[in-house]
Structure 1
């Protein structure tokens, strides 16, 4: 079986490939693509794979834009962190899906379902009602902040959330730190901020710190089931994840 993976997180793609090969050692992963445009170009040039494993949110947008640009004739298993209600749209169209973090047992169930369907599967468009699926997702997902207006001297700057490395409290002052190391004060409390930030991208490490997933550079085992983090840019104070939060943190980081 030839499989195409569409996933913009390298670790997630590698883990998915490992699980697929555990299920079938003869399975061949053709490529791991990370964006809508890259996928459209690949599918235009290459023969259709036997299966596409497709993340919903990728580098340059939602994966459904692929179906709006090109006819997809391969069966698709979506990987997603969207809630169950939004996923009902997938079930209407008999599209299988895996909730992140992906469990091997769930992957096996999806692959077995594909086997059952393959005997009657024709290489025709999947018949996706893209508008209906997008509408279900848009109606049910929270509108998270995409940028912050911050003060920079006498100016006001707009900082996109993907530029944020972390937000932390120091001497009762909340500071937004960009991935370039620039610091800007924020008026909102961390309690309020964590409510408006995408939980796929941001994690409340402790009472003083909210992390962006790309800011975590190293993880070290610590005492009594805790972990100690190294982030980029560096933060002077130690970052310790409690033993209670460590499983949640690892699941978040491994999505």
Structure 2
């Protein structure tokens, strides 16, 4: 079984590949794509895989954009951190889904379902095979944007305060702690991990610059080229360290800034 994995988080990608290997050592992960743009380019220049396993929220947008730009006939299993609203959309469109973090038993059942779907499709003539309405599902998921977090709770002494996302310039990690920094320079510790923050904020407004920083689009003051295709990003207020974006993320970051 040849699988294309679409996942922008390196740790999540490595874990999925490891689970696939444990479930069936004969599975071959052809490639890992980390953005809509990369995936469309890969599918346009390679033979279609047997199966695609794809995250929903990628570096440069929602993964359903892939299937509106590139004709895909193989089954797709989606990974998602969304709640029942999105899941109902999947069920209506007969698309398999897995909730993050992915468990081995759940992934194994999804692969069994894939094999059943593949067998059923093989027994049908091409003209009889149903088409998945990716645009319909994408619209349903875009409506989900209203459910992104609108504020974060922080502790100020003995008190708890709500900070709206409009006031947040960026999030960062330091010494295994997560912090948010407001546009006016105040810093507050958070109970959330940076991965949890990344999944709960609107990707059109916030971008995961690297393993340590997530920035609001209005906090980016300047971008400069760096060595080997990387970028240096300057934020307002000034962070305590230089922020470098990898060459792999530099393209999607520019696309995000140019939205």
Q: Distance in 2 between matches of 1:82 and 1:202?
A: 9
| Contact preservation (8 Å) 2:180, 2:189 | no
Structure 1 residue ranges without an equivalent (≥5): 151-158, 168-173, 178-182, 204-211, 217-231, 235-255
**CA separation of 1:49/1:148 partners in 2, compared to 1, >3 Å: closer, same or farther?**
same
| 1:26 and 2:30 correspond | no
Alignment-derived partner of residue 176 in structure 1? 181
Map 1:232-247; keep pairs closer than 5 Å: none
Q: Distance in 2 between matches of 1:62 and 1:49?
A: 20
Map 1:149-160; keep pairs closer than 5 Å: 159=169
RMSD over equivalenced CA pairs, Å = 3.7
From 138, 149, 158, the counterpart of 1:134: 138
| Contact preservation (8 Å) 2:2, 2:51 | yes
**CA separation of 1:43/1:62 partners in 2, compared to 1, >3 Å: closer, same or farther?**
same
| 1:165 and 2:172 correspond | yes
| Contact preservation (8 Å) 2:53, 2:76 | yes
Measured after TM superposition, the shift of residue 59 of structure 1 is 0.9
SS at match of 1:120: helix
Q: Report Cα offsets for 1:220-240 as digits up to 9, x if no partner.
A: xxxxxxxxxxxx968xxxxxx
Q: Distance in 2 between matches of 1:10 and 1:198?
A: 12
Q: Report Cα offsets for 1:39-75 as digits up to 9, x if no partner.
A: 0011011000001000000111100111111101111
Map 1:5-24; keep pairs closer than 5 Å: 5-24=5-24
| Contact preservation (8 Å) 1:144, 1:198 | no
| 1:214 and 2:211 correspond | yes
**CA separation of 1:63/1:31 partners in 2, compared to 1, >3 Å: closer, same or farther?**
same
| 1:201 and 2:198 correspond | yes
Measured after TM superposition, the shift of residue 148 of structure 1 is 4.5
SS at match of 2:120: coil
SS at match of 2:211: helix
SS at match of 2:131: coil
TM-score, normalised to structure 2, is: 0.60
How many residues align? The count is 186
Measured after TM superposition, the shift of residue 185 of structure 1 is 2.4
SS at match of 1:19: helix
Q: Report Cα offsets for 1:88-121 as digits up to 9, x if no partner.
A: 1111121101000000000011011111122122
Map 1:63-212; keep pairs closer than 5 Å: 63-122=63-122, 127-141=131-145, 142-144=147-149, 148=166, 159=169, 161=170, 164-166=171-173, 176=181, 184-186=184-186, 199-201=196-198
Q: Distance in 1 between matches of 2:92 and 2:44?
A: 28
SS at match of 1:119: helix
